[in-house]
Structure 1
Amino acid sequence: MKSTVANALAVLSTAAVVAVSACGTEREFAVIRRDAIARRQAAAARPTDVASEQQITDPAQECAIYNYPPVASLLAQKVFPPIWQIANLSTANSEAVSLFQSLNGSIPNIAPRGTPTGNFTGVNYNGVEDPDCWWTWKQCHTPKVAGIPPDIYNIPEPNTWGHNAFYDYLYQQKQKATLFYIGSNVMDWPLQAQRGISDGHEICAHTWSHHMTSLTNEQVFAELYYSKKAIKDVMGMTVQCWRPPYGDVDDRVRYIAQALGMRTIIWSDNTFDYQVSTLGAAAVEANYQTVINGGKNGTYNSNGTIVLTHELNNDTMSIMVQNYASIKAAFSHVAPIHVALNSTMPYVETGYTYPNFAQWTAGTTSISLASPTAASSDITLAIPLSSGASGSISASVAHSTAGSAQAAAASASETAKAHSGAGSNRLTEGPIGAVVAAVVGALGAGAMVVMA
């Protein structure tokens, strides 16, 4: 099932969804970063089209980093920061620098917290009032800063489940998903990233190197900007959604993301599959069963759920495959998150049209998607950010049809079960992370699917 590469690339989400990630702990994620940097030095030539890449069946070859000419050209021109290093604007073009400078003065004055590895020991925060809507502390998803839309953490369509998916498995099941791509992974496995759109999945971003609230304003901006740009340059579309690594987001980060035209997506339920090595498969199975039982007993009759699962290893992916039939039986539909939100054109570009929820449930799973295209030189990234003399910013994010639905979701009782919150010293959601979807991890590209 192309499991390892799937682990490296993606994240998934869906209504009544399950969030998914490719890696379980920051230590494991650090190994991925280290190995990716080392292997890039010996990157070999590989097939240069998606169809040829799909024919590779040897796991070692599948997961090897390779030399894809357009990406090699972009890296040689220093269009992007170093792979897997926390991004900044030191190599950015003047347009990106100007965008950040025009925004910086209006960003909420919230200091970075903890370390990039997710250690919050010694952080002094008013968790009772939660003034910054810090999800890591209190699973807050309704921003305190005016003008920022609520996070998408569940789906308005009832009895809907979301989870991540493996490319081949999803293809066999005729299942589409929402994939959250880490920018560095897109550069390391560009053809796998392109397959995500070729197979008809929805695409969102998951930062450049997988860090967030511990970073400076410039670094947060760069992490989001370059993840968005990597997808644009390698695949051809400008995404307007993202998932915070570990769910680690507050109003400062949300504000910057919104300015870059990106809606924040979190999750509602957690399978804790990333802890399978310590909890054991039976415990993770029980967590799955809790959500599945909820699909049977009416728990999700008002709103679907977003469930966190991971493409961490064969164990986590096998558990998802084993539970897929039960998920399908307990929930009415499995669909990409934007389908469940009736957002039929989730990208800035107009060449991509997805079905709305009614069309999806009637059997239409794809309408019109442009073929993935890669650029070999720096191109302009369309960003809706604008700045006035007062320092205020406005951004237009293409989720207009989801407004009323998300308002309803925001008023629903919070059901987050993330293993973080008060007293935690580190984040627990996997590095590649996926949010929502009722399928399994996709070729290193987290997938988000919705089931109603």
Structure 2
Amino acid sequence: MRNFPPNAFLIPPIRKFVYHSIYTLTLLLGLNALLDTGKTSAQLIARETSSNSGCKPYYYGPVNTQLSSFPTIWEPASILHGDSNAESKWDSIKANVPKIPPKGTPNGDFSGLNYSDADDDCWWTYSKCVHPRLEGLPSDVADIPEPHTLAYSFDDGPNCSHNAFYDYLVAQGQKATMFYVGSNVMDWPLEAQRAVTDGHEICVHTWSHRYMSIFFLSRRLSATDQLASISAMQAIKLVTDITPTCWRPPFGDVDDRVRAIANGLGLRTVLWKYDSNDWRVDDGDISRSAVDANYERLLNESANGSFDTVGAILLAHELNNFTMSEAVKYYERLRSTFKNLVPIQVALNNTHPYVEDRPSLGDFHDYTTGGSASMPSDPGTGSDSGESKSPYSPSGVLGPGSEPQSQMPSSSRARRIGGVVVGGIGWWAMAIGILNAVV
């Protein structure tokens, strides 16, 4: 509008014509933006093989219309004012939450902390403790009972550029456990739906991927903040229509206070035995060859009989092109070295991985022998198809020259206004609303 003279100098009929012309153009551009993305279902999302088109912002009504019911995306979560359900849930569990003080700083610096060697809090960051001191809490899942078995898991999704990786898993007939960040689910809802369509297990990885036992800025992370952070399960429910019963704390940062809150929410704490440390390359902490060495160590220990009596959980990441490419690079060797590669809930023989009565992958025997376990339907359409929606395409984002940016901690390429994600036609609809107000 900078090229037009002030409204006071426009003859009213001309002004009306100008605004209505802009209105029409804006609407057409908005529709074009929607058509360009073509993102209306998990099936269409699965056809994207370019990181540029795959990571294009889009409008998804069920999320955009519910944004006010959730914490600000990628910000530390708190129970929203007036959220009676969350307040009621906190009231029902707070008596069982121990009064353990928060620890450390927002970036995970615990250097100034005076913490007892007795580790009374069973703080994993300090001692790798997985057996809570607090009575009544279940032990963390850190390994699996099935020998010669690797539980296959990926943190930090959904990633807007994950199609080539997911296509590869489909081509191999491989399911995994995906630990999803609530903010990523809100940013990329159809990508989250694809995981369910493909038959992967879904678990919670908090709302905004923060250390869970820390101080936030000048205030302590309260227990209710921790509850809100963990309960990204509501975002997953909104988008996929399933409510997970498992979660993994970012960086493994968990103590008995955090465990008690998670347990009160019906979430089992899942950690790992082997960390690929693939995420640290993006931070510049280690080299790519160091990640290769971590995978090689796991393969060597498997070949040397370390898993003859008990299996292991691998931690990898759906974070960027490198982490997903690394998973593909080592997949065949992992599959040939381990007798079984399975999702975590399958390894635990948990045939009810969600609050809802939904189809599962079956127990360990069903999964490893090709038993009769049923697959979930597409959460976006409600249809149930037994065939793959996404054949492997080697020209996808795992190809050379394609390095989508990490999505942590600020992943959305959608435009933001006051914390609200607006993509595709949603952006243009907002512009239309402003023009309507002016006219």
Match of 2:55 in 1: 63
Query: Following TM superposition, by how much is the alpha carbon of 1:278 offset from its aligned partner in structure 2, in angstroms?
Result: 5.0
Task: Supply the distance in 2 between the matched residues of 1:93 and 1:279 (Cα, whole angstroms).
Answer: 42
Establish whether residue 220 from structure 1 lines up as the match of residue 226 from structure 2: yes
Equivalent pair of 2:153/2:179 in contact (CA under 8 Å): no
Match of 1:372 in 2: 379
Query: What are the residue-to-residue correspondences of 1:417-436 with 2, within 5 Å?
Result: none
Match of 1:132 among 115, 121, 124: 121
Match of 1:143 among 124, 132, 135: 132
Q: What letter corresponds to residue 320 of structure 1 in structure 2?
A: A
Match of 2:107 in 1: 117
Partner SS, residue 144 of structure 1: coil
Query: Following TM superposition, by how much is the alpha carbon of 1:164 offset from its aligned partner in structure 2, in angstroms?
Result: 3.9
Query: What are the residue-to-residue correspondences of 1:223-238 with 2, within 5 Å?
Result: 223-225=229-231, 227-238=232-243
Match of 1:169 in 2: 168
Match of 2:292 in 1: 285
Partner SS, residue 203 of structure 1: strand
Equivalent pair of 2:144/2:151 in contact (CA under 8 Å): no
1:25-65 per-residue CA deviation (whole Å, 9 max, x = no partner) reads: xxxxxxxxxxxxxxxxxxx6442211111122221221233
Establish whether residue 52 from structure 1 lines up as the match of residue 57 from structure 2: no
Query: What are the residue-to-residue correspondences of 1:225-264 with 2, within 5 Å?
Result: 225=231, 227-264=232-269
Establish whether residue 269 from structure 1 lines up as the match of residue 258 from structure 2: no
CA pair 163-365 structure 1, distance change in 2 beyond 3 A:
farther
CA pair 286-110 structure 1, distance change in 2 beyond 3 A:
same
Task: Supply the distance in 2 between the matched residues of 1:180 and 1:285 (Cα, whole angstroms).
Answer: 22
Match of 1:337 in 2: 344
Match of 1:158 among 147, 167, 173: 147
Establish whether residue 356 from structure 1 lines up as the match of residue 348 from structure 2: no
Task: Supply the distance in 1 between the matched residues of 2:337 and 2:236 (Cα, whole angstroms).
Answer: 34
1:279-327 per-residue CA deviation (whole Å, 9 max, x = no partner) reads: 4333322221111011111101111111222334333332222211111
Task: Supply the distance in 2 between the matched residues of 1:186 and 1:311 (Cα, whole angstroms).
Answer: 13
1:209-263 per-residue CA deviation (whole Å, 9 max, x = no partner) reads: 11211121010011122x0100111110111000000100000000000000000
Q: What letter corresponds to residue 48 of structure 1 in structure 2?
A: T
Task: Supply the distance in 2 between the matched residues of 1:343 and 1:258 (Cα, whole angstroms).
Answer: 17
Match of 1:83 in 2: 73
- Give 1 or 2 for the bigger CA radius of gyration: 2
Equivalent pair of 2:359/2:373 in contact (CA under 8 Å): no
Task: Supply the distance in 1 between the matched residues of 2:379 and 2:81 (Cα, whole angstroms).
Answer: 26
CA pair 273-168 structure 1, distance change in 2 beyond 3 A:
same
Q: What letter corresponds to residue 80 of structure 2 in structure 1?
A: S
Q: What letter corresponds to residue 202 of structure 2 in structure 1?
A: I
Task: Supply the distance in 2 between the matched residues of 1:299 and 1:261 (Cα, whole angstroms).
Answer: 32
Partner SS, residue 195 of structure 2: helix
Equivalent pair of 1:80/1:92 in contact (CA under 8 Å): no
Equivalent pair of 1:66/1:188 in contact (CA under 8 Å): no
Identity rate, percent: 44
Query: What are the residue-to-residue correspondences of 1:18-33 with 2, within 5 Å?
Result: none
Task: Supply the distance in 1 between the matched residues of 2:172 and 2:352 (Cα, whole angstroms).
Answer: 24
CA pair 371-57 structure 1, distance change in 2 beyond 3 A:
closer
Task: Supply the distance in 2 between the matched residues of 1:336 and 1:272 (Cα, whole angstroms).
Answer: 19
Q: Alignment RMSD, CA only? A: 2.2
Q: What letter corresponds to residue 85 of structure 1 in structure 2?
A: E
Which structure 2 residue ranges, 5 or more long, are not aligned? 1-32, 155-164, 215-220, 383-406, 410-439
Partner SS, residue 69 of structure 2: coil
Task: Supply the distance in 2 between the matched residues of 1:279 and 1:102 (Cα, whole angstroms).
Answer: 44
Query: Following TM superposition, by how much is the alpha carbon of 1:367 offset from its aligned partner in structure 2, in angstroms?
Result: 1.2
Query: Following TM superposition, by how much is the alpha carbon of 1:271 offset from its aligned partner in structure 2, in angstroms?
Result: 2.3
Partner SS, residue 106 of structure 2: coil
Q: TM-score, normalised by structure 1?
A: 0.70
Aligned residues: 332
Equivalent pair of 1:176/1:365 in contact (CA under 8 Å): no
1:317-368 per-residue CA deviation (whole Å, 9 max, x = no partner) reads: 3222221111111100111111111111111111223211111121238414
Equivalent pair of 1:56/1:62 in contact (CA under 8 Å): yes
CA pair 73-134 structure 1, distance change in 2 beyond 3 A:
same
Q: What letter corresponds to residue 176 of structure 1 in structure 2?
A: K
Equivalent pair of 1:70/1:374 in contact (CA under 8 Å): no
Partner SS, residue 307 of structure 1: strand
CA pair 105-351 structure 1, distance change in 2 beyond 3 A:
closer
Establish whether residue 99 from structure 1 lines up as the match of residue 89 from structure 2: yes
Query: Following TM superposition, by how much is the alpha carbon of 1:140 offset from its aligned partner in structure 2, in angstroms?
Result: 0.4
Task: Supply the distance in 1 between the matched residues of 2:259 and 2:150 (Cα, whole angstroms).
Answer: 25
Which shows bigger deviation, 209-218 or 234-243? 209-218
Match of 1:304 in 2: 311
